[in-house]
Amino acid sequence: MSEAKITNARLREIIKEELAKQQIDEAVDHASMSAVATSASKLLAAVESFKEKASAHAINAVTPGLAELEKTLENMVSNPGSYVMKPKVEPKKVSLRAVKSKDTV
């Protein structure tokens, strides 16, 4: 029983061919990032407006959670990419087939 052997160069070539077939797509969803930043900015403006116009009793009622909310919204405005779902990357399958060629050992 003979054992099929392959050279490192041929193995690299096969892997490159398989990866080229699968066309790896790592696109960034700019529309979703823009929507997150815009929505967070509007909500932050609404919170600021609430703090200016609401009574002291209403502001004191929401103060414990308000600081954390403002911090999170400011982070969303400055780093919207952190709050956008990344597309699920399927595992890549690379198949190695025994092919007779003159560069096999």
Longest dimension (CA), the chain: 88
pTM of the model: 0.55
Confidence of residue 3 (pLDDT cuts 50, 70, 90): low
Residue 12 has pLDDT above 50, yes or no: yes
Confidence of residue 32 (pLDDT cuts 50, 70, 90): confident
pLDDT at 87: 65
Residue 25 has pLDDT above 50, yes or no: no
pLDDT at 19: 66
Average per-residue pLDDT for the chain? 78
Contacts 24+ apart (CB under 8 A), 11-19: 11/96, 14/94, 14/96, 14/97, 15/94, 18/92, 18/93, 18/94, 18/95, 19/92, 19/94
